[in-house]
Every structure is written in structure tokens, then in C-alpha cells.
Amino acid sequence: MPERTPSPSRRDFLKTSSAVAGAGALASLALPHGAYAGNDETIKVGLIGCGGRGTGAATQALSTAGPVKLVAMADAFEDQLENSLKRITGALKSKADERVGVEHKFVGFDAYKQMMASDVDLVILATPPGFRPIHVEAAVAAGKHVFMEKPVATDGPGIRKVLDAVAVAKEKDLKIGVGLQRHHQNTYRATLEKIWDGAIGDVVALRTYWNSGGVWDPRRTREQVSGEMEYQMRNWYYYTWLCGDHICEQHIHNLDVGNWVKQGFPVECQGMGGRQVRTDKKYGEIFDHFAVEYTYEDGTKMFSQCRHIRNCANSVSEHAHGSKGTANIGGATIDAGGEQWKYDGPKNNPYQTEHDDLFAAIRSGTPYNEGEYGAHSTLTAIMGRMAVYSGKTVKWDAALNSTIDLMPEKYSWDAMPKILPKDDGSYPIAIPGLSKTV
């Protein structure tokens, strides 16, 4: 599935980054036997991260054309792994007997390392996003094809690590898919083609929204876990090092569409937000609303909103304003000078199509790597969070090259995350004007 020039070249993107040096060491590692699979070969799949999205992604991967089998699963928590296996088996129904044959179950923080030492051909990375950089780095070093969920990191150092791995994957001809499924959705692709062909004239502004009532409430109390690390891991959505805040974990989809329209990424942004309704200490440290103004190199603005507050006006959508008209991109409609256009072609399930396309590329040997625009759009979201948390204008290069590493010094159940609760159980919250984010 060809992309229309989804992003600037890697040279342009990394010209200010010092992270490239590590790529050579990864590239020198040998590819294991079985890293590629032809049309008649069974593609062996391993799932790392057995929550809801991992379960769904694995089910979709196992529904692609050709022989494919889930042979290994890994998760920090055994209960999640076992529950996921049951759900995958149930979803596949009659196909489960031939497509599910889990020979290895790896549990704990090092489970991903055990997965990489196995004979799987492709790994699905669907843990909380904070772990994505170390997982994709390990997968590429081990010679595995990758499907990784969005976002692909939660901080600047993580983005640089992902970009290094993406570059090495290209050298090794390893395929990388990223869970920004709108790129595989017929309605979006057709609307983007109309915009690029000039249907609304020159794009002068973009509006993107993920305003909703929010997601699941925290799933564990302190009495139900072994310590602080497990508490945050079980309730991962509410900690920035794990999820990136909801501007990163959810709103990335809409920001990605803005970048797709512009075929580039913003050079700077500024914005405001806060924590007005979701204030209980059980909600960790994240905000419940963001409003960010992004600026692209040609001066085009993208006005972004995301909100997790119930009983408010909701919208999950993207809109482009041009010199001749407007486009509701997600709605696949265009209004230009009184002339109306609406997509009336075939609809598809983009969650399935993104796996169909990836597996087809593996079988055919076609170059396939979505890692760069996955990293670009993730950094767009991270940069917006940085701007809102700090109250400052944040430039792209500063966000990319930030030395603020959110991840813990080590990973174990007795280790401590960098963000810790105060005596009353509440967490420090970012304060615009005071907090340093770059």
C-alpha cells in the first residue's frame, strides 16, 4: 500500500539529533534464520503486551491471508497473559485450532528478552507506550519484523531510540507497521488524495479533536498490589512515563492526520491545559484537557484540542481549511465553493487492513516501514504535552533532543518510578510557568 510522501526524509528529521551513532552497532547483529517468510511459509507471531489492544492486534494478525500462528506471548502480568489467550482463542473460533499454538509464555519485566530469543518471525508490541523504545530496539536487533502500537514513545530520548531502530530495520529489510490505522482506511485515503489534488485549494489551517468522556478508571487500589511499581503499571494510563498523557496516547491519531495532510511535521507549538475535573489522587499525574496551537514550517496552523471530561460536547475528528473550501477528513466530505463531495466507495476495517498490508509485505519482500511517521506523530504529541505542562513555546528540535528521560532507572517490582506519591497519596502535577519539560 503506497504512501503519498508521509514524512520528510530521515536525513532532514535527524539533522539535529546525535542519536544516529548507535544505529551501526545494532546493524552489525546477525539476522536469525526464519526472519523472512514466503507465501507458503507459516509466519510465527509473538505478542508482547496482552491487554485489550494487544489482544485485538494479535487477533487481527492471525486473521491475515496465508499460514500464520501465534506461538509465544509475553506480559509483565501472568493474569493478563492468560486472559488474553482465552479472548484470542474465542475471537478466532474455528480458526483457533490452526492459528493458536502458544508454546512459550513469558512473564515479568524481562519477558520481552525471552521473546526475542525465541524463533518468532514477527512481534506485536502492545505494552504501555513507555516500553516501546526498548522493545522495538530489541526486536530489530534480534531480526524480527514488528507491528507496534501507537504512540511509539513518551519522551524525546525514547523517540531517538525508536528512530535508530527504524533505520536499522531498513538496512536489514525488516518490516515495521505502526498502529496509526487511519493510513489504511479507505475514507481517509480518498479524502487526502482529493486535498492533495487541490480540491480545497491551498491548505491554510487544520483543526483536530479528541474530546470525549475519557477512558477506564484506575483498575487497582494500593491494597491490591505489591508496591508502587505495580500500582502504576496496573493503572498505566494515568502516569506520563507509561502513557505520555492522553494527548499522546489518544490524540496522536488526529495529530497524525494533520501531519499527513501537510506531509511534514510542526516546527513549534504552544498551548494551555490542566486538570480541572479529574482531580482525585487515583488519577495519577495526567491532565484532563489540552489545547495546542501547532505551527508548520510554511506558517500553516493546526489547532488541536483533546479533553477527558464527561457531559461535554464530544468530537473525534480532523478538518482542513483551504483557500477554496473545507474538508471534514474523518467524515470524508468536502465543501468547495458550493460543490459537495462525499466518499461513496467501499468501506474497510482499517485495524484489519493494517495487518493485511504488513503481512503481505513480509510474504512478498516488499519494502515496508511505517516507523518514521509513527515517530514523527508521536513527537508531535509529546511536544504538545511539553508546551502545555511548561506553559512555554516548544520547538521541534528542542523536543527531539530533550535530555529529560521519564523512564525508571531499572525495571523490577521493587524499583521505583521517577514520579512518586506524596504523603497523602497524591502525585506532583505539572504547573505551567514553573515545570521544566525540555
Give 122-154 pLDDT, tens digit per residue: 999 999 999 999 999 999 999 999 999 999 999
Asked if residue 357 and residue 342 are part of one domain, the reply reads no
CA 370 to chain centre: 11
Does residue 374 sit within a domain? Answer: no
Asked if residue 177 and residue 146 are part of one domain, the reply reads yes
Asked if residue 342 and residue 197 are part of one domain, the reply reads yes
CA 123 to chain centre: 15
First and final C-alpha spacing in the chain: 36
Asked if residue 387 and residue 359 are part of one domain, the reply reads no
pLDDT of 37: 63
Asked if residue 339 and residue 307 are part of one domain, the reply reads yes
What ranges make up the beta strands (E) of 218-368? 268-274, 289-295, 301-308, 315-322, 325-328, 333-336, 339-342
Q: How far apart are CA 382 and CA 244, in angstroms?
A: 7
Whether the pLDDT of residue 333 is over 60: the answer is yes
| Rounded (10°) CA dihedral 331, 336, 338, 343 | -30
Q: Which helix (H) or strand (E) holds 69?
A: strand 68-75
pLDDT of 38: 66
pLDDT in tens, 149-185: 999 999 999 999 999 999 999 999 999 999 999 999 9
Q: 211 by DSSP, 3-state: which?
A: strand
Does residue 2 sit within a domain? Answer: no
Asked if residue 222 and residue 78 are part of one domain, the reply reads no
* Least trusted range by pLDDT, from 38-42, 104-108, 257-261, 360-364: 38-42
Does residue 435 sit within a domain? Answer: no
Instruction: Write the CATH number for 268.
Output: 3.30.360.10
Asked if residue 101 and residue 73 are part of one domain, the reply reads yes
Domain that holds residue 196: 185-346+380-400
pTM above 0.85, yes or no: yes
Angle between helices 371-390 and 252-262 (to 10 degrees): 120
pLDDT of 12: 45
Does residue 409 sit within a domain? Answer: no
Asked if residue 159 and residue 37 are part of one domain, the reply reads yes
Q: Domain tally for the chain?
A: 2
Which comes out higher in pLDDT, residue 1 or 92? 92
Q: Which helix (H) or strand (E) holds 146?
A: strand 145-148
Asked if residue 154 and residue 71 are part of one domain, the reply reads yes
Asked if residue 321 and residue 249 are part of one domain, the reply reads yes
Q: How far apart are CA 91 and CA 100, in angstroms?
A: 11
Average pLDDT over residues 395-421: 98
Asked if residue 37 and residue 152 are part of one domain, the reply reads yes
Does residue 284 sit within a domain? Answer: yes
* Least trusted range by pLDDT, from 1-10, 301-310, 423-432: 1-10
**Residue type for position 433:** G
Report in angstroms the alpha-carbon separations of 194 from 1, 198, 299, 346, 438.
Answer: 18, 7, 22, 16, 38
Does residue 412 sit within a domain? Answer: no
Does residue 33 sit within a domain? Answer: yes
Asked if residue 173 and residue 33 are part of one domain, the reply reads yes
